Structure 1
Amino acid sequence: MTLFSMLPPQLFSPLASPGAALYAEVLLTIFGETRRHQQPLSRELALSLVRELLVAAEDGLAATHDAEDEPATPDDDDPLSRRAAAVVRYLTRCGWLRIETQSDFTQTFTLPDYAFRLLNVLHEIATDEPLPIQGLIFSIYSLLQTSVREGNAHISLPEAYRQTTSLMSGLKELQHNIGVHIEQVLRQLQARDVLAQIFLHYRGEIMDKAYHQLRTTDHVSRFRPGVIEALALLSNEQQVVQIAQSLRASGFAPTVEAAASRLLEQIREIRSQFELLDRLLQAIDLRHSQFVDSAVRTIELQLTASSTTSGQLHALLGHLLTADDGALEAAVTEHVELFSLALLEAESLAAPTRAAVPFVAETRTLPQLSAEDVAAAQAQTLQQLRRSVSRERIRHYAAQLLGEADMVHVGTQPLDHPDNLAMLIYLRQYGDGSLGYRSEDTPEGTWIERDGIGFRDFVIRRL
Structure 2
Amino acid sequence: MMNLFDVVPEGLFHLLTGSNRKIYAEALLLLYEHSQRERFGIRYEVMRDLLQELLETQQETGMVISADEDEPVGAGREDQLTLEDVSRAQANALLRRLERAKWIDVETRSQFEAYIVLPHYASRLIAVFQELCEARTVEYQRFAFVTYQLLTGEEAKMRPCFAVMEAAQVTRQFRHELIGLYNNMKHHMETVVQKTSIREVLDHHFETYKSQIVDKSYHRLKTSDHVARYRFQILHTVQKWLLDRGLLQEAAMDGVKSELYETVEQAEYAVKEALFFIEETFVGLEEIFYQIDVRHNQYLRSSYDRARYLSQQHEGLDRRLTRLLELLGQQKQDAEYSLFAINQVRGWSEQSLLPPRRRRMAHQPETHVTVPIPAHVMEELRQRNVEKMRKAITRKKVDDYVMTRLGDRKRMELIELAPSSAEEFLMLGYVYLYGSDGGSRFSLDRQGKRQTVSVGRYRFHNHDIVRKERGG
Shared topology, TM-score over 0.5? yes
SS class of match (2:184)? helix
CA deviations over 1:317-337 (Å, ceiling 9, x no partner): 9x9899979xxxxxxxxxxxx
Higher relative contact order (CA 8 A, sep 6+): 2
Question: Partner amino acid for 2:33?
Answer: G
2:228 and 2:3 map into 1 onto residues whose CA distance is 40
Give runs of aligned pairs for residues 44-55 of structure 1, distance below 5 A. Answer: 44-55=45-56
Matches of 1:290 and 1:60, distance apart in 2: 38
Partner of 1:176: 183
Contact 1:175-1:284 within 8 A present in 2 as well:
yes
What's the CA shift for 1:299? 3.9
Q: Which residue pairs with 2:39 in the alignment? A: 38
Pair 1:138–1:79, CA change in 2 (3 A): same
Q: Distance in 2 between matches of 1:144 and 1:268?
A: 13
Which residue is equivalent to 1:113?
120
Q: The residue matched to 1:65 in structure 2 has which SS?
A: coil
What does residue 101 of structure 2 align with? Answer: 94
**1:288 and 2:323 matched:** no
1-side partners of 2:63 and 2:209: how far apart?
Answer: 35
1:264 Cα deviation from its structure 2 partner: 0.9
Q: Which amino acid aligns with 2:31?
A: I
Counterpart in the other structure of 1:227: 234
Q: Which residue of 2 aligns with 1:268?
A: 276
Q: In the TM superposition, what are the counterparts of 1:135-174 in structure 2 within 5 Å? A: 135-146=142-153, 150-174=157-181
**Distance in 2 between the 1:271 and 1:322 partners?**
61
- 1:179-215 deviation line (CA, Å, top 9, x unaligned): 2222333334444433333333221121111111111
Is the alpha carbon distance of 1:147 and 1:281 closer, same or farther for their aligned partners in structure 2, counting shifts above 3 Å? farther
In 1, are the aligned partners of 2:150 and 2:156 still within 8 Å (CA)?
no
- Counterpart of 1:196 in structure 2 is 203
In structure 2, relative to structure 1, the CA distance for the partners of 1:55 and 1:150 (3 Å cut) is: same
Contact 1:182 1:291 in 2 (8 A): yes
1:252 aligns with 2:260: yes
Q: Please list every run of 5 or more consecutive structure 2 residues that lacks an aligned counterpart in the other structure.
A: 76-80, 328-472
- Mapped to 2, the partners of 1:206 and 1:246 lie a distance apart of 42
Number of aligned residue pairs: give it.
Answer: 317
Query: How big is the shift at 1:270?
Result: 1.0
Q: Deviations over 1:205-253 (max 9, x none)?
A: 2111111111122554222111112212333322222223223333322
Q: Distance in 2 between matches of 1:57 and 1:196?
A: 26
Q: Matches of 2:287 and 2:166 in 1, distance apart? A: 24
Cα 1:158–1:218 shift into 2, 3 Å: farther
Partners in 1 of 2:146 and 2:227 — Cα distance?
Answer: 12
Letter in 2 for 1:68: E
Aligned pairs for 1:301-450 (under 5 A) are 301-303=309-311
Do the aligned residues in 1 keep the contact of 2:73 with 2:86 (CA within 8 Å)? no
Deviation (angstroms), 1:100 = 2.5
For the 8 Å contact 1:194–1:299, the answer to whether it is kept is yes
Which one of 235, 239, 243 corresponds to residue 247 of structure 2?
239
Identity in percent: 27
Alignment deviations for residues 277-327 of structure 1 (CA, whole Å, 9 cap, x no partner): 211111111111222233334444555557xxxxx9xxx99x9899979xx
RMSD: 3.6
Q: Can you list the C-alpha shifts for 1:313-370, whole angstroms capped at 9, x where unaligned? A: xxx99x9899979xxxxxxxxxxxxxxxxxxxxxxxxxxxxxxxxxxxxxxxxxxxxx
| Secondary structure, aligned partner of 1:56 | helix
TM-score when scaled to structure 2?
A: 0.59
**Mind listing any 5+ residue stretches in structure 1 that lack a counterpart?**
307-311, 326-463
Q: Greater CA deviation, 273-282 or 79-88?
A: 79-88
Task: Give the whole-Å Cα distance in 1 for the aligned partners of 2:216 and 2:245.
Answer: 41
